[in-house]
Amino acid sequence: MLGPRVVLLVVAVVVLASGCGGSTVASVPELESAVVLARDRTDYVLARITRAESEGDFLERMDEAADAIDDAARDLDRIGVSKDRESEVGDLVESLHQLAFDVQATADQIREPGFGDLLTGTRGLSFESWSKVNLALAVLRKEGIEVAPLERH
C-alpha cells in the first residue's frame, strides 16, 4: 500500500496536469514544479525499497517503484514543453522510463529460480539508468531548473 506522501504527490500531479491542458506550453515555474515532482516521486519510491523488512516486501516495493517511476515519467511527458527545453525534458522522461524498466527487470530476475541469492550479501542495487536520470537532472539544473539529484539509497 502506498503511503500518504505518494497519494499527495499523485494528487499534485493530477492538479498540475489538468492545469497544463493540451498543447499549452508550461511556464518555467510550471515546468520546474513538474520536474521536481517527478524527481521527488522517484526518489521516494526508491527510498521505500531500502526499508523493506523481508524479501517479499522488497520485491513488492520494487514492483511498486517501477510502476510509480513509469507513471512519473508519463506525467512529465504530458507537460507542454517549449522547443528549447524539449530535448532535455525528453532525456529525463526516457531515463525515468528506463529506470522503471530496470527496477522491474531486476525484481523479475530475483524471482526466477536460481537467482534469489542475488540479494544475499547485497548492500545496494545500482542501475546505469539511475545515473542517466541524474545526468538529465544536472542538464536541467544548468538550464535554470532548480531540482536536486536523486539520492543514493
pLDDT at 7: 47
pLDDT at 1: 53
Instruction: State the Cα angle at 110 between 108 and 112, rounded to 5°.
Output: 75
Contacts with 97 (C-beta within 8 Å, 6 or more apart), sequence order? 70, 73
**8 Å CB contact between 89 and 133:** no
Cα–Cα dist 114/138, whole Å: 38
Tell me the domain boundaries of the chain.
4-142
pTM for this prediction: 0.81
pLDDT tens for the chain, residues 1 to 153: 555 555 445 445 444 554 444 569 999 999 999 999 999 999 999 999 999 999 999 999 999 999 999 999 999 999 999 999 999 999 999 999 999 999 999 999 999 987 766 565 455 567 899 999 999 999 999 999 999 999 998
**8 Å CB contact between 2 and 64:** yes
